[in-house]
Amino acid sequence: MKVTERLKAGGKLFSFEFYPPKTEADSAKLFEAARELKKLNPDFVSVTNSSSGTLKYRTAALSGVLKAELGLDVVAHLTCVAHTRAEIMEICAGLKSMGIKNILALRGDIHNIEGLQPRRDYSYAAQLTADLAKTGDFAIGGACYPEKHPEAPSFEEDIVHLKEKVAAGAEYLITQLFFDNVFYFKFLEKTAAAGISVPILPGLMPITGYKQMQNFTQMMKVSVPDALRAGIERWDGDKDGMFKFSVEYASAQAAELLKNGAPGLHLYTLNRSKAAIAILKNVKGG
């Protein structure tokens, strides 16, 4: 089923994100996690895609296996900055042949293509979205940033480009992760004022340690509230304590989002199941 059909059907959507494993051991862990998470009956799972261009078929392959072997509805991420239009159409044909009906259209991280030969058929996700919309074969999603895209000079300009993406054919949006719900709700106000009316699914991830928190703040430009920072500093080095604290924080965040109108939750799993299962059980009452 297409994500857009699930959204139109009503009810809250719950989904998980995976990334393609690089080793046989990582692959085993991923499928163990996927089998456990399937028991929660997610509305869909998404599979990330490298913007380097060197792994262009890995996302499609994993998406096909998750659908064929586990019966999961899959959203395949598709990054465009390292691909030609011909390559994009080739990948889409492969997804279509496997029965994949959902694509998350992304530009991709520019830093991932440094040193590679430029293939600038595409510069922005809106261009990819427009090409995908012409095929008529996929439900198309897009990414958005409640705290502003790190490269955008202003929030206002970021919203302008997001509106272009929606006008090009993005039918729903999934947010970058965030740790303060105020950002999400203010973002909804800004997008509504700009005339953006597509559903916006919040993306959440429990923090597992101090180093991970630093990566979020430094590389991804995501704010960490004082209460979360204090908890991470308190429990850093205590695996069980950190897990309990992180799950409780993310569960409270999720419950507030759903209570106040979020259309669902998209959980970034890092190819693990334990935290995602605990959060969803807390939110859905076991």
| Residues catalogued as catalytic | 17
Phi, psi of 166 (to 5 degrees): -65, -40
C-alpha 265: how far from chain center: 10
Q: Which amino acid is at 275?
A: A
Show the 3-state SS of 130-185: HHHHHHCCCEEEEEECCCCCCCCCCHHHHHHHHHHHHHHCCCEEEEEECCCHHHHH
CB-hemisphere CA count at 13 Å for 15?
25
Q: Kind and range of the H or E element at 62?
A: helix 58-70
Give the span between the Cα atoms of 204 and 16, in whole angstroms.
Answer: 10
Radius of gyration of the chain (CA): 18
Q: How far apart are CA 215 and CA 212, in angstroms?
A: 5
Angle between helices 125-135 and 85-97 (to 10 degrees): 50
Phi-psi region of 245 (alpha: psi -120 to 50; beta: other; left: phi over 0): alpha
